[in-house]
Structures are given as C-alpha cells and as structure tokens.
Structure 1
Amino acid sequence: MGASRRAAGLISAAVLALATAAATGVPAHADDRSASVRAPNEMPNGMSPWERVPLPPLRGQTDLVDLAAVGPNDVWAVGYVRSSWGVETLVLRWDGKRWKRVPSPNPSDDQNWLLAVDGTSAKDVWAVGYELDEDRRHRMLVLHWNGARWRVVPTPGVGEELESTLVDVEALSPTDVWAVGTATGWPLTGRTLTLHWDGQRWTRVESPNPSTEGLGSNLVGVAASSADEVWAVGDDDPSGTFGMQPLAERWDGASWSVVPTPAVPEDAMLGSLGIAAADDVWAVGYRTVDGLPQPLAERWDGESWRAVKTPVFDGVEATFNDVVVRGRDDVWVIGTKGRGTLIAHWDGSSWTLVPGAEPGQFVTSLAAATEEPGTGCLWAVGQFTDGERAEAFVERSCPS
C-alpha cells in the first residue's frame, strides 16, 4: 500500500507489519495537516535537473531498494534479482564513471534479499536483509565488504521467535554498527530487533516493544549522529487491532527507550531517518488520509518530535520513502505519487515539488536516496515496470 520499499519487502516476506506508540504529552497533528507546494522554475539550491544514469545489463526482474555513498566516486546500491529459480542478492558500485555489478553471496538456495546498505570507507561496507532457510522461514542476512569481496557474517539467534528480518543498517565506524528490523513470533506479531557490531561480533540488544499484540512493534529505519545518539523508527499496533501508528526509539549509549511522537488520526508509519545534528533529526513515512496513504514528516528539535506539514494529493496515493538532510533548511525527500516518482525539497518554510527522471514506463517508484560526499550529488534508486517486467533504475542530481 505505498509503504517504503524496505517496509514493502517485509510485508511481502510476511514477516511483519507496521505501526506505533501514540503517546501523550506531545503535540498532535493539527486538523489542517496539508502544506502548500510549488513547482520550481529552476532546481532548488543550485542543483541540476535529475537525470537517469545507465546500469549494467541485468537479467531477470530487478529492484534497487537502498544506496550509500562512502566517499567521492564511491557509491553502493543494493537490492535483489528475481529469476526462474528464486531471488538472489544484487549489489552495484559506482566508481565515478559507471555502475558495475559486484558479486555477492547467496547463502539460501531459494531466496536472498538485500534491503539496506551503509559503510564507513571503501573497505568497510555492510548490507542487510534476509534469506529463506530450508524450512522457508525468514532469517536475517548480513553481508560485509572488506575491500576485496563480500562475505556472510554470522548473526545471533532470536530464541523462540519464528522469523527475523533486518531492514536498515547504520555504520558509524568499523567497530560501531547498528542494524534494525523485526523478529516475528506466533501469530506473526512483530517484535523490535536491534543488533550491534563491536568490531568482532553481532550482538542482539534489548529494545522496547510498546505493542505485543496484533501487528506488534517493528523497526524499519535507523540513523545516528554519534555513538550515544542513535535513532530507530517504524511502527506499532497500540490497540492490538491491526492499526498502525509511528514508533520512534532512541539509544543513549546505554539503552533503548521509546520517545513519544505526535499522534496521527489514522494509520501511519515512519520508515526512514535523516540527521543534520543531534537537535535536528527528520523522520518520514506515510499517514492515511481518507483511506489513502499521504506523505508524513516529523522533526526532532532536541526536546520533542513535532509534525511538519506535508502535501496531500487528493485521490492519489503518495508516500515519503527516504530523506536526505543537507542542512537545517535544505532537506530532500523521495518517494512515490500515484504511478510515478515523488521528489520534494524543504527550504525551511515550504515544500517544492521537483521533476524526476521518469523512465516513462507503466509504474515508477523511488525507494531510497543519499548524498555523495565531496561532490554534493544526490542519488536515488528505485524500480519501474511496463506492466510485465520490473527493472531497477538510478537517477542523479548534481550541483550546477
């Protein structure tokens, strides 16, 4: 239904669902939650128009769901390829001139999905997702790039929980990496899943579960400004009746805790994070308005989460799937609107809609975005289809 592709991957995996901590004592969304938007005569902040960047030939149904830039002319993108035998991991790398596919492990003989990537250098990149085991249960999958090859890194078990999926990863240093997702128990009730890498091994860290009924509690995105300021977002089911509300949790260096977010009248979730500073954190996703998903944005000011007015597109499904925070008044979001892409820029007071590089096919969606350090270029990845075959695509906007 218009959730970010990371969340959609979870849904299709039947591993979890989405939903939150509707808490008291925080500002609620006003009745008028929609913001006016304008289409620019020129690109905001001196950026060039978005353009599609060619990919190497790829066989099968392909999708890119996340990307990360670890340095100038060094960008990674991950996803998966569907073929006649199953699903295999897909890893691409940009070297400043072209995208190339990099061989990556597929431990399962059936399905291997990558949902997120992040890294600290050309020799330290992580990718996470899930695989299907011999009993066709979802098991978290972690891959690491050491500068020469990708390898599978062991993860801890999840006890009596039936299945586990990692949906996002944040690398602060080679000895400080977080991965989040969902561990699912019977009857398919989500439980927050947080793992930490200390340079030697992955360890599961206890995290709150505000809801333990219905869809339960699920984490979809993670980001950090420092080792003791880590945020994770997702959703939970506060009433236990399969209704979703945004969930935000924070790591303070010692433990995870739930941080109240503004109440949302209908179903909603947060799926991605962007950080400018410890007192300026953005979280985006979607909320339901008159039965249709519409963009949702929240902003942390160091003391509380507050709603940011977002556009409402009457009669059309629309979501914010990812956010790139370049400064307090320079925020980019990407997502999906109807059958096409959604790109918008926040200048501190209003949103500007920006045309994307539409492949011109039946349906096009953007899943994730990042900024390339040293160049200022913005990258976005997603998928388009002509109604029969799905194909991954990449687009870019650079300082003009």
Structure 2
Amino acid sequence: MSLSRVSKLLAVAALTGAALATPGDPWVVMDSQSKEHGKSLSAIDFDSASSGWAVGDHTDHTTGRMTAHIKRWDGAKWSDSAVGDLAGKDVALNQVAAVSGNDAWATGMSVPPPQLRKATRSPRPGSPLQYRDPQRGLQAGLLTAAGTPYVLTHWDGQKWASVTPPQPAADKDALVSDVERVGDHALAVGLERKLDPQTGAPSEQMGFLDRYSGGKAQRLELPKELTAKPSAVFSVTGSGAGDVWISGAFVTPDKDSPYAAHWNGTAWTLHELPVTAQFPNGWNADQIVTSGGTVHVSGRSLYTDGTLTTGYRFDGKAWTEWTDRGLAEINDLSVRSDTTGMVAGGWPTLTSNVSQYASFTGTTWTSHEQPAAFAGKEGQVLGVAWLPGTDRAMGVGYTNDESEWGGVYYVTASRS
C-alpha cells in the first residue's frame, strides 16, 4: 500500500466518531493583531479564570530583529505586558506555564541576526530532511551558538525577570519544546543539540527534563534508557511530583521511534510506541495528556518524507490506538481542570491548511471552525488552554493571506 494511501486512510480514521465542524460557534475573537505590526503569539496558559499569559515575539519588519512579546489576561481582557529585563534583547518566546498568580514561567531562545539564520533541517541527526510545518521550521531555524542555554524568565507577581537555566554542553545549544504546570511547580522538556554551523543540521542530540520551583531551575535526571541513544522530549504532563509523564522520540537519520515514559515518584517506566510497517520511518510523540484516568498521546511525522498522524492511549494496562481524536493533526492539547474533557487545536485533515478546534466531553468529540472573521483562512492554532474551574478554553495562532505581511495573530475563546 502506498504512503499516500495510508495517509488518507489515517486521516479518515482520525475523525471517526467526531461531529462535523460547527461554523464559528462556540469560538469568538478575544484579541487580534495584524501581522504588519509584527507581534505574534505561540503559547497560552492560565492559573485561574482571571489570570493568564500568552507569549511570543515582536518582529521588526524593517530590521528583522525579534524581541520578546507577552500578553496578560485579567479575567476580562488581554493587554500587552512589560517583558522585564528581556526588553530590547534578541529573544523569541515559545512556551509558558502559569502555576499561580505569583509564579509563571516562559521559555524561548536567543535569536541571531537575520543574516546569520540558517536553513531549517530535521532534528534527525545526519538527515537532510526539512520540516513540513512552518512554525516548527521557524523555531528550529533560529540556531544559536554552541554552549548557549535556552531563555528562561519568571513572573513573581510583580514583574518578569530572567532566571539562569541549566547550561548545555560546550558543543550544544538547548531548545525547550514544552512547559507545563505539574502540581505546585512547572516542568520543562526539550533537547540539547550539536549543530553543523554551516548547514544547521544536528549531528547529535539528547532530551532533558527541568524543574522550575522557588524561582530557580533544576535539571532532573532521566533514565539511562532515554539517554543512551539520541533522543528528544516533546511533551510533559502529570499531577504532581509522584506522577509525571513525558513523550518524545528516539531519532536516527532514517527513523523516529516514539515513546512515552512515566515517573511514579521512585522509578521511570519506558513505553515504546508502535512504528508500523506501512510507515517505517516512524513518528514523534509530540503531545501527551491525562484525561479521565487515561493517558493520551498524539503524534505525527514532522518531515517532508511523508505524512502520518496517529495516537495511542494507555488505561494503565495496555496501549491501544487512539483514532477518535476530533482532528486529524493536533498542534496542542489541553485538559479541563476536572480532567473530564479536552480541547485540541490543529487541522481537520492532512491536506487542510485551515485550522479548527475540537472539544471532548469525555464521550464525544465536536469540531469547531474558527470565528467568522477568520473563516476559511489558512493558518495554525499554536496553543490551547482551559481556564481553570470553568468550561471555557482559549487558543492562540495565526492566519495568512497573500500579501507579504498579511494575516493576523489572534487569541480566540470558546463560549462554553
């Protein structure tokens, strides 16, 4: 069977059991900014219904410089926030976790001048492949000098201030792929990578797990099974210090072998996820959440050698394929604070460039189109998050049009 045929079948299977998209309802526009103004948002999170953050970058279209951009939710509206000592620095933010009203964390990376930015390559060491997802490609293409840590900033209830992150090896830089609140602190996952300074292609890389607590960052030890060969960690979730899940992939030039791993407070358990004969180059387990007592992993192939979207779920005894995901390709997942439901942002099919949302009640998925102002416009939902204690969620992303700086960056919200 051809890869294109397999992809089409998987796209259909991913939507099995999901209701058709509801035009523009229940999602509404909360905030939007023309791309001409250069402000973009990549991630969103809330510590309460009246307190939250969205982070991204501000690009000067004349010089190409990128600086940090942060927005604040006060329960009624979004407004620009001061970025503290990151002001004026060449930085792009891409992840945020809100632990409490006086404890939030945002990560990103130092951005080289436009003339020093390299062509984007796959994170598979030694592979010439490129990303097919422009947003991932942009992030991976912002290569920093060897020995450069990722950017980390902390909100203490009064201001944002930089915090020193773990230092990578002298020949590697570091990239954070996810930051989440887990119990009373935040956890970050990502990878350190050694890069060819001419091509930007990695020759080796290793996943990491960091803990943010008490205003400081700490590198945690991963099991030898995850560090004995090239790996990446893409997502993290959990209920507390004795219950943490991470997901990612072991990477070689020809194959991504997906995994999930669980920490029970004493030891790690590694779960290697299936790679099918129909798609032998594998996939990345790039979203992991726990809802209704079940672990859900959503993944995909990231590269131009073919397209695969898939998912698996774990009931504590066995992994089974997760086909009723509401969307064919998921960019982000968030779970209600009571763990009974989920919201996802992404694309309804493998060939669609028009993003949608999907909500899960615990039994049924329902897909929702973007609000009328964005209806039919190509683009991506980059981040979604539930407002704690409510039945509402919000998302950040962007739309495109044909002009050079056309389209908008937005915050949207579900009515219920």
TM-score over 0.5 for the pair: yes
Q: Which amino acid aligns with 1:280?
A: T
2:199 aligns with none
Choose 388-397 or 49-58, whichever is displaced more: 49-58
Q: Secondary structure at the match of 1:259?
A: strand
1:377 aligns with 392
1:8 aligns with none
* Structure 1 pair 38–196 and aligned structure 2 pair: CA distance change class (3 A): closer
Distance 2:220 2:344 in 1: 30
Choose 112-121 or 164-173, whichever is displaced more: 164-173
Q: How far does residue 142 in structure 1 lie from its aligned partner after superposition?
A: 1.0
Q: How far does residue 106 in structure 1 lie from its aligned partner after superposition?
A: 6.2
Q: Secondary structure at the match of 1:148?
A: coil
Distance 1:353 1:41 in 2: 4
2:180 aligns with 170
1:249 aligns with 261
- Which runs of 5 or more structure 1 residues have no equivalent in the other structure? 1-28
* Counterpart contact for 1:70–1:373, Cα < 8 Å: yes
1:98 aligns with 77
2:55 aligns with 78
Report the TM-score when normalising by structure 1. Answer: 0.77
* Counterpart contact for 1:283–1:323, Cα < 8 Å: no
Equivalent residue runs for 1:126-145 within 5 Å: 126-132=105-111, 136-137=144-145, 138-145=148-155
Equivalent residue runs for 1:295-310 within 5 Å: 295-310=309-324
Distance 1:275 1:383 in 2: 27
Matched, 1:153 2:168: no
2:344 aligns with 333
1:202 aligns with 217
* Structure 1 pair 95–87 and aligned structure 2 pair: CA distance change class (3 A): same
1:52 aligns with 29
Report the TM-score when normalising by structure 2. Answer: 0.74
Distance 1:312 1:398 in 2: 19
Choose 145-154 or 355-364, whichever is displaced more: 355-364
* Counterpart contact for 1:130–1:140, Cα < 8 Å: yes
Matched, 1:184 2:193: yes
C-alpha deviations, 1:199-256, integer Å up to 9, x for none?
A: 263221222465877xx3111211112211111122222xx22422322222222454
Q: Secondary structure at the match of 2:300?
A: strand
Matched, 1:392 2:401: no
Q: How far does residue 310 in structure 1 lie from its aligned partner after superposition?
A: 4.3
Out of 83, 91, 97, the residue aligned to residue 118 of structure 1 is: 97
C-alpha deviations, 1:102-155, integer Å up to 9, x for none?
A: 111465976312121112211111111222479942531111101110000111
Q: How far does residue 376 in structure 1 lie from its aligned partner after superposition?
A: 1.8
1:11 aligns with none
Out of 286, 290, 297, the residue aligned to residue 283 of structure 1 is: 297
* Structure 1 pair 220–105 and aligned structure 2 pair: CA distance change class (3 A): farther
Distance 2:272 2:164 in 1: 34
Q: How far does residue 79 in structure 1 lie from its aligned partner after superposition?
A: 1.4
* Counterpart contact for 2:10–2:308, Cα < 8 Å: no
Q: How far does residue 39 in structure 1 lie from its aligned partner after superposition?
A: 3.8
C-alpha deviations, 1:154-181, integer Å up to 9, x for none?
A: 112122441101121123355x331111
Equivalent residue runs for 1:207-226 within 5 Å: 207-208=222-223, 210=226, 216-226=230-240
Q: Aligned residues, how many?
A: 358
Out of 259, 270, 273, the residue aligned to residue 258 of structure 1 is: 270
* Counterpart contact for 2:96–2:179, Cα < 8 Å: yes
C-alpha deviations, 1:285-317, integer Å up to 9, x for none?
A: 32589965354332221234322114799xxxx
Q: How far does residue 384 in structure 1 lie from its aligned partner after superposition?
A: 1.4
* Structure 1 pair 311–331 and aligned structure 2 pair: CA distance change class (3 A): closer
Structure with higher helix content: 2
- Indicate the RMSD between aligned Cα atoms, in angstroms: 3.5
Out of 232, 245, 256, the residue aligned to residue 231 of structure 1 is: 245
Identity of aligned residues (%): 21
Distance 1:366 1:32 in 2: 21
C-alpha deviations, 1:72-95, integer Å up to 9, x for none?
A: 221211111222241111111111
Distance 1:233 1:80 in 2: 26
* Structure 1 pair 210–241 and aligned structure 2 pair: CA distance change class (3 A): farther
Q: Which amino acid aligns with 2:300?
A: Y
Q: Secondary structure at the match of 2:149?
A: strand
